[in-house]
Each structure stands twice: as structure tokens, then as C-alpha cells.
Amino acid sequence: MATNGMRSRLSSKLLHAPEAPAIVLLHGIQGTAKTWDAIAPQVPPRYRVIAPNLRGRADAYVPDESSEYQLEKFASDLLSVINEAGPTPIVVAWSMGVSVVLALLEEQPDLSLSGLILVGGSACVGSEARWFSGDSLPEVAREASERSKRLALIEAAAPHAVAASWMAVKRKDLRHVLSTVQCPTLIIHGVDDDQCPIEHGRLMQRQIPSATMQEWPDTGHNPMASNPIRFAQTVVEFADSLRAY
């Protein structure tokens, strides 16, 4: 599947359940679709798993221009995935993926989703959620390599894409979008997250209507790596709960 310069990698579950409800797994600022390699195989075939590579990642379109990594561009990429996923998918978004989802909902407030799982993210990173400390594109690009090792990323995005993405995310305040989220939402946040303080997750839980939150002890910014079995089970349980309505 390729749309607007962005290619998506589909789980083999698609072959087993072509008409099943879709679960879209959205990576973070440095991650790629491989972020979900330990999660996707654990999702039962009653669901389709779609793990896209947004621009600047893996085999997707990798533009050189920093302007191509604005959140609005990522939101357009995600909308292409959702449109091809079929009616009302569930979106699981991690880290920068949370910002991308909120940016899309800012533009498309009536977008039809079955549910959202927001993981280790923020509606406004401000000065507290500091994924990177550098103030320039070259500085952040240099930091990106070390951060990918610390977060145990299976595959990392292009450093210049990471740097440009960070500059875009840290300038964006999406807190006004939270009260407009219409679908059931689960927030997962590691208590020991040193990249995005847990209060950012708590703020989202307070302001998103009907949102619930799980605070995972002994867990940092990447709960998929630290506890993949629990994470996959949580995603499936959430998806199953939506089907029960």
C-alpha cells in the first residue's frame, strides 16, 4: 500500500482476516514499523494489523527538506493509512505518534475511529518532555543515534528526519484538541518515563472525554520493548471491549 509518498507495511494477519477490523500501530519520532515486531504477531487473526512507516522512516519517502516533517505532513500520511484501512479503525500511537494523531484530529475533528490507545505521549511537549536537548538540527541529529540505543529501537529513522520532526513537535500545542476526541481512549504511560513525564499522560486522561489510563510501574518510555506480552494483551483487550458494544 503506497499513498502520498508514504509506504505502509502490513502484518501477515491481513491475509487471514481481510475483512477484519483494523488496528493501526503508529511508531514514534525515531521508530519505524519494526517498533511493533514483538506486538503484531500476538494480535489474533480476528484483527488486521497495519504498521505504517511515516515519511523519513525505513522504506518510506525520505525528503531532504525540513519543511516536509511538519506535523501536518505526518497527519496527511496517517489519514492516507486510515482511509485505506477501512471503516473506523483503532489507532495505537506511541510518543510522537500521539502528536500526529492529535494533529490529524485537529484538522479532521469528525474523523471516524473506533478507539485510540495513546502511549507515552504528550499534547504539548513544552520544556518538560525533552526527547532531545539540542537546539539545532545538527545537534538533534547527533543525539538521535544514542537515543535509539537507549530506547532499544529495532530500527531507527533517518537522523535528519528525526531532527526536523522534533523541531516541529516541540513548537506545537495540541491541548485544545483533547476535549474534542470523540472515541473511547486508553492512555498507557510508564511511571519511570524519563522522556515524557507521566503528568503529560494524566493531563490527557483528564481532558479527553471518557478516557481511561494505565500507569505501568517499572516502565520507561518504551513499554512495547519492556513488556511486549502485556502490551499486546492490553491492545487486544481494549479492541475486544469495543466490539462488545
Residue 166's CATH number: 3.40.50.1820
Q: What is the pLDDT of residue 159?
A: 87
The length of the chain is 245
| 22 pLDDT more than 60 | yes
Number of domains comprising the chain: 1
- Report the percent of the chain where pLDDT is more than 70: 92
Is pLDDT at 186 greater than 50 in this prediction?
yes
Rounded to whole angstroms, the Cα distance separating 37 from 89 reads 20
> What does the pLDDT read at residue 13?
33
Mean pLDDT of the chain: 88
Strands 22-26 and 90-94: parallel
Q: Read off the pLDDT of residues 26-54 as tens digits, 9 standing for 90 and up.
A: 999 988 999 999 999 999 999 999 999 99
Confidence (pLDDT) at 18: 62
Of 7 and 53, the one with more pLDDT = 53
According to DSSP, residue 88 is labeled S
Is residue 53 within 8 Å of 59, Cβ to Cβ? Answer: yes
Q: What is the pLDDT of residue 227?
A: 96
pLDDT of 181 higher than 50: yes
Backbone conformation region of residue 3, classed left if phi is above 0, alpha if psi is from -120 to 50, else beta: beta
Q: Where are the beta strands (DSSP E) in 58-198?
A: 90-94, 115-119, 185-190
pLDDT given for residue 3 in this prediction: 37
Run of H or E residues at 63? none
- The tens digit of pLDDT for each residue in 97-156 reads 999 999 999 999 999 999 999 999 999 998 787 788 888 898 998 888 788 777 777 788
- Contacts (Cβ under 8 Å, ≥6 apart) of 244: none
Quickly state the pLDDT bin for 77 (edges 50, 70, 90).
very high
- Judge whether residue 188 has pLDDT over 90: yes
Which has the minimum average pLDDT: 2-6, 16-20, 147-151, 233-237? 2-6
- Using DSSP, state whether 94 is helix, strand or coil: strand
State the angle between helix axes of 96-107 and 71-85 in degrees (0 to 180), rounded to the nearest 10: 80
Q: Are 88 and 113 in contact (CB under 8 A)?
A: yes
Q: What is the pLDDT of residue 17?
A: 60
pLDDT of residue 148: 79
- Lowest pLDDT segment from 137-151, 154-168, 195-209: 137-151
The predicted structure's pLDDT at residue 199: 97
Residues 6+ away with beta carbon under 8 Å from 33: 8, 9, 25, 27, 51, 52, 53, 57, 58
Determine the structural domain holding residue 70 and report its residue range. 2-243
Residues 67-92, mean pLDDT to the nearest whole number = 93
Residue with cell 516541529: 168
Of all residues in the chain, what percent carry a pLDDT higher than 90? 68
